[in-house]
Amino acid sequence: MCISATIFSADTNTIEFSLFSMIPVGWLGLGIGGNPTGMAGNDLAICWPSTTGNDAVISQRAATNNGQPSVLTDTVAFQVQHNKSGLSSSNMDFTCTFSRPLNLATAPIASTATSINVIYAIGLQAVSGSGNPQQAKIQQHAFTGHGALNIQRKQGASSDANNSVTPAPGTGGSGSMNGSTLQSELDKMLADERIYNLLVQVHGILMTIAFLFIFPMGAILVRFFSHLHHVFRWHRPLQVSGFLIVIAAFACIFIAAYKSPQGPPKISASTHAEFGVILVTAMVLQICIGIFIFHTFDISRADRPRLRLVITTWMHRFWGYTVLIGGLIQINLGMTLYGMWPTGQEAVWYVYDAWVAILVVAFVLGSAFKWWRDRRGKETLSKEVQEEE
């Protein structure tokens, strides 16, 4: 993908952007004015080939974070340059050239600027929906990037024949490939993208099952029903099952990283990835403490090390709460990073927030009930002792 920005002397209040792709794409996107490395706050221009292929369609959108961009208004400030946009005769190359005012309120550009920070994205899946481009459904991107884009200054007007800013087809990149080779490469990218998206979704589902259901259930059992000793027969298999599910989810995202069309990202590329490694390490330690307690706690042993057992039990308890809270945070980071494409994030975020609230309320009320039950039990025991005396 090549991007250019040009201000012509005949119209110094307008800037023209040209997006050029050397491979068949579903859509191209450009964002300016917000987060220089993410979608938040950027004024987004998303364009794709028209139904006839001899023009481009453009949509203006915005996003508060990485996710499905929303429509601000049906009045689009971007104007497609029809004579500079569309598919090539081979339907391989696609160009979208559009202009916009420099002083646009959503992302103003100084008239003296020599460069601007931009983010860009390429989607391989076709845009769905017809009619109003502002209502079209846009699938998740396969490639993204960001950087500083130099602004060119040219004499004359955009319509001048010698002011074409689109790279010539067949120069550089994949332009040297023949049609069949290029199509084969595209088919492979599409296949990898489908596998990548599937593995990421499976990863998210498995993590959700583990951290929102299995681990909280295991923690609630021993927190509120520890007086029923048989609950430990359920606690251990539940937590071990959750841990195995997390390992499976970890394997899914590891494989997905190598299937990503953009290539495997570094762990340091996101807080979600860094925190995930820390969380898995913390879980391994929690499992080890649990195994130690399981093999140490034997009520038939008269010489069992009670002090060491008490210390490790409290370590296991509080470390478990730490891991559980970390898991809830990790789910939040994962949903934010993935953006809950392509349906937007509202519904799933409401469900997540509601379920976390239910867990917190259950823990608070359960703790209050446990305190009341223990206090009542002590009072009853004290009364029985007094009666015996």
pLDDT exceeds cutoff 50 at 169: no
**Strand ranges, E, within the chain:** 2-8, 11-21, 27-32, 43-49, 56-61, 79-80, 86-87, 94-101, 115-123, 143-154
pLDDT exceeds cutoff 50 at 168: no
- Please report which confidence band the pLDDT of residue 387 belongs to, taking 50, 70 and 90 as the band edges: low
Distance CA 42, CA 55 (A): 25
Q: What is the mean pLDDT of residues 29-56?
A: 90
**Strand ranges, E, within 266-351:** none
Q: Where in the chain are the domains?
A: 2-173, 189-338
The residues near 335 (Cβ < 8 Å, ≥ 6 apart) are: 204, 345, 348, 349, 352
Q: Distance from CA of residue 242 to its chain's centroid?
A: 22
Q: What is the mean pLDDT of residues 67-95?
A: 82
- Please report which confidence band the pLDDT of residue 267 belongs to, taking 50, 70 and 90 as the band edges: confident
The CA–CA distances, whole Å, from 66 to 289, 335, 340, 342 equal 38, 9, 9, 11
Q: What is the CATH number of domain 2-173?
A: 2.60.40.1210
Q: Who has greater pLDDT, 240 or 295?
A: 240
Q: Is the peptide bond before 305 cis (omega within 30 degrees of 0)?
A: no
Q: What is the mean pLDDT of residues 294-298?
A: 62
* pLDDT tens digits, one per residue of 233-259: 777 888 889 999 999 999 999 998 888
Any idea which of 107-111, 296-300, 309-313, 322-326 has the lowest mean pLDDT? Answer: 296-300
Q: 219 burial class (0-12, 13-18, 19+ CB within 10 angstroms)?
A: buried
SS3 assignment, position 357: helix
Q: 51 burial class (0-12, 13-18, 19+ CB within 10 angstroms)?
A: exposed
- Please report which confidence band the pLDDT of residue 301 belongs to, taking 50, 70 and 90 as the band edges: very low
Which residues are bridge partners to 80 per DSSP?
98
* pLDDT tens digits, one per residue of 331-385: 988 887 776 554 445 678 888 889 999 999 988 888 888 778 777 776 676 666 6
Q: For the chain, state the CA radius of gyration.
A: 29
On average, the pLDDT of the chain sits at 81
pLDDT exceeds cutoff 80 at 188: no
Q: What is the mean pLDDT of residues 20-26?
A: 84
